[in-house]
Structure 1
Amino acid sequence: MATFDDTEMQATAHELIEEFGQAGAVKRITPPDPVYGGDPAVTSYPATLVPMAYEARYIDGTVIQTGDMQIYISSVGLAIEPTVGDVVTANGADYAIVTGDPNKYNGVTNVVFIVQGRIAN
């Protein structure tokens, strides 16, 4: 019986994203200290990604809105796991992550991150 090789799938996903994608960033915003206050800290993590508009048939106006992007982010070399609350920079715009799917089939290796991004305010 053949076994599923997550690292091989991760390498394939990275190659495709690298070939057809663009350089971008995932920004994580850390809120100010609840006691001492201060400004939120923004940490930017470089990423290779492919932003794609949703097809009209998937846009329902509620879960997926006009302008939302489906963003494939390579997990290779990315220091964090993109999550709701993070902001992805792609196509010269900032997209707040609304939902995400880490595609961690064996529970350990992140093959590719697929997130739904919405224009950030």
Structure 2
Amino acid sequence: MANPLYARMQATAARLIKSYGQAGTATRIAPPDPVNGGDPVGTAYPATLVPMSYAQKYIDGTNITTADREVYISSVGLAIEPGPGDIVTAGGKTFNIIAADPNNYDGITNVVFIVQGRIAP
């Protein structure tokens, strides 16, 4: 059973992201068919998100660079759980997801998705 505390936290996160965020997309890239080959296929899912610069103390130049963004994605209504290998688009910029934290404390409710996005080449 879902903990009501996490449902309230999810609602609060969704409200704040909706107020201060922007519309974007989270794109899942499906690999080509192993038998028939072909090109990878991307499926875009609409998302509400907030891309922010990392605090200077976290930037080490290797794991987190100055071009990386910490992207908060509302979990409400998002059909996928963004993770490494996915792509996030916000404000006309495309970010490859390097690392992800679903903030799922009870194993049921995803409060908010926090991902590390690196600007795609």
TM range (shorter): over 0.9
More off after superposition, 32-41 vs 74-83: 32-41
Return 5+ residue gaps in structure 1 as ranges.
Answer: none
Q: Which residue of 1 aligns with 2:46?
A: 46
Are 1:76 and 2:76 an aligned pair?
yes
What stretches of structure 1 move > 4 A for 4+ residues in a row?
Answer: none
Superposed displacement of residue 4, structure 1: 6.0
Identity of matched residues, %:
63
Q: Which residue of 1 aligns with 2:19?
A: 19
**Counterpart residue type for residue 71 of structure 1:** V
Q: Which residue of 2 aligns with 1:6?
A: 6
**Counterpart residue type for residue 49 of structure 2:** L
**Counterpart residue type for residue 39 of structure 1:** D
Q: Which residue of 1 aligns with 2:66?
A: 66
Return 5+ residue gaps in structure 2 as ranges.
Answer: none
Superposed displacement of residue 91, structure 1: 1.9
CA distance in 1, matches of 2:60, 2:70: 14
Where 2:79 maps in the other structure, the secondary structure is coil
**Counterpart residue type for residue 115 of structure 1:** V
CA distance in 2, matches of 1:60, 1:91: 25
Where 1:39 maps in the other structure, the secondary structure is coil
Q: Which residue of 1 aligns with 2:94?
A: 94
Give the alignment's TM-score, normalised by structure 2. Answer: 0.95
Give the alignment's TM-score, normalised by structure 1. Answer: 0.95
Superposed displacement of residue 57, structure 1: 2.0
CA distance in 2, matches of 1:120, 1:28: 15
**1:62-82 deviation line (CA, Å, top 9, x unaligned):** 110111000000000000000
**Counterpart residue type for residue 41 of structure 2:** A
CA distance in 2, matches of 1:68, 1:43: 23
RMSD of the alignment, in Å?
Answer: 1.1
Number of aligned residues = 119
CA distance in 1, matches of 2:17, 2:98: 21
